[in-house]
A and B are shown apart, each in its own frame.
Chain A
């Protein structure tokens, strides 16, 4: 086994060019669990925690976007200033594990693992995030929906690493909600992110833990757009109920050791309705 700890992005990319199938180690909160349990064999590890270029973020107020480096931790995302730019992502970050986990776990790691239960992913999906990838040969961008392929499978190619993600900084209300077995330290049984955009008067909804990857809800989004009143932050009770049904219909949950498909479908409906009501508090 070998461990490479590059101190710059260029060194990391060169190391990956030499060992394209090396295992990438970010915060370790997924990989180390598998290593400790003997569930995974690794021969070459490239550890990314020391790559300074990945640990920064950049807010561009003119373009209205926030670039978050892959090595930015969930503790940093839960905190200011990122929390003000993407409040739903900060809310999701606050539900990730414990302080110990949030100090280590990174948004790039969350993307790379691509668990359907990854807490950051529904928010990134609702924000139509762009994922940035790089290799020694060059860089490319992918919409998140194309980056996520299947449970724990992404479009990242051998030799590539995730350098970051870009999201829009929007004016409207946004939030994240999840259901688990306790208030802290839980993996989501069902999770929902809802993002509103006051400029385009659109509502975007993404569901976690109820499908092979995070799911967007085009029917529910279209319906919401036609039935909410942005000016008075109003949605009628009947419209809210229909929105809940459309969100439930979009879910493709399974029964597993954490919950049942039926409960997950019910739960995403409850969470979606709750978030829409928070975004539009008036009836």
Chain B
């Protein structure tokens, strides 16, 4: 399974996490997450993933974009990630990920997004 295939399972992973849903209840935003070359468009409403669209969308506007290389996400989602790959900002500091756009909703809900983007860690690595 590619990193993008793993990220595509985000709706089920989030739906299964009552604590994360509770913490995200104030959050409504549209954002974009790039897994390597593949963009994903997320629509979050009150912390719930209303839609996850995989692939390019013409003229789609988003508040912010988090981009990471395939290697970045693969390493980030190891069951026990290595030092330097274990946090979103560890990835940006090493140049393997970037944050672009209006970062305010991201920073206002930073722990939620860190935990959201780490959810694929719960999937079996070998699958």
> Is B a genuine binding partner of A?
no
Interface residues of A (CB under 8 A from B): none
Residues of B within 8 A of A (CB): none
